[in-house]
Amino acid sequence: MKQAFLFFSILILFVQSSLSQVVSEWRGIGRTGVYNETNLLKVWPNKGPQLLWHNDSLALGHSSVAIGYNTIYITGRDDSTEVLFALEMNGKVKWKTTYGRAWNEGFPNSRSTPTIDNNRIYLSSGLGDVACINATSGKIEWSAKIGDKYGVKLGGFGFAESLLIKGDMLFVSPIGDKTNMIALNKVTGELIWKSKSLGDSAAYCSPILIKYAGLEMVVNVGSSDIFALNVNDGSVLWSFKYFDVNPPERNWKPTMNSTTPLYSDGHIYVNSGYNHVGVMLKLNADGKGVELLWSDSLIDTHHGGVVKQGNYIFGSNWINNGNGNWCCIDWKTGEKKYETKWNNKGSIIANDGMLYCYDEKRGNIALLKAIPEKFEPISSFKIPYGRGPHWSHPVIKDGILYVRHGKVLMAYNIKDDEK
């Protein structure tokens, strides 16, 4: 009897340990857009990689997938609400749960990519409703109308943050007159700390975590400011008026920032679409301030993200809402390496020295080497299903490329089976 009890106790601890180790978040671990898969194809078949399955019965959305516990999680807008779908690994729906109010004005489809941690899913809706959902059952463990409670100042496209977790804390950015960011207990939803307000309004960015000079900081971008808070108490470590960095010939200053910052070795890169410049900031030695190293007018990413590979930044730029080129600049100097027309601007991810570029207008996906000399697709194919703009960011997991287009999710086999 004692042996059986001991066996089951060990089994329970093993299961709990396994659950706690599963983490999935927006643009991969670290939010860099760079995945860490091995043995993937470096050249695709002429008609593209094998389509394993597609599900065309989901709700409208632009968010990406999150994967854990042998389940695929994806959000969508169902009339005036947002829903979380849990799919089997073959694309069949297990369950769906309504978790919040949808944005009801411009571009209302869901944009929050689920964050998975310790058998729970964390989400925010277009009106700033936050929910914690059991990853197995789909039951809501707690929820709160954070946007209403903390007076978030929303722009024309609502709330679009993918939530961030550190330890027991869940970070949410209801930027407005009351606060810039709050930290909640991820298990109970109770407030741990509330930062002061910097007098800004919300943009459409998702925060990142940085460790530097003995400090842990959470960094995000509002409509005007790039800011960093101390993870432990929410105190403001520094802020930078991004809104004011613009060359004289550009006669307007956009506030629709949506690109997740990139961090490497004490340096933070932020850019934005609509002809706004990108900036490279260097953290001070104590981590409590930043200086502007350079600004760049080439890559002004609309909302497709950027990636760092080696000493270079890759992404697309904004010529107008319907057009853009693919670009590369030097991480250290901002120097232009190339600007190339290929279909249209869009989202970008990377893996093992390769770029995956997803054209937002026609749904072409290109595979190419992440080199600064030229943009030269090795392979490409066109997404066959879905309607509307191709705004979701692709995801790579266990040799599968997941691509979302409106109501449709597709899974492509990109494993190199010969390795």
All domains of the chain, ordered by start, with CATH? 58-202 (2.130.10.10)
C-alpha distance from residue 214 to each of 167, 217, 312, 355, 378 (Å): 17, 10, 27, 33, 43
Q: Would you state the structure tokens that stand for residue 362, as one six-digit string?
A: 């026609």
* 344-377 pLDDT per residue, tens: 999 999 999 999 999 999 999 999 999 999 999 9
CB 353 within 8 A of CB 367: no
Give tens-digit pLDDT for 253-262.
668 899 999 9
Least confident of 16-20, 139-143, 281-285, 334-338: 16-20
Q: Name the pTM for this structure.
A: 0.93
pLDDT (mean) for 47-75:
97
Which residues lie below 8 Å from residue 406, measured CB to CB, with a gap of 6+? 60, 61, 109, 386, 387, 388
The DSSP code sequence of 351-366 is ETTEEEEEETTT-EEE
Which pLDDT band holds residue 8 (cuts at 50, 70, 90)?
A: very low
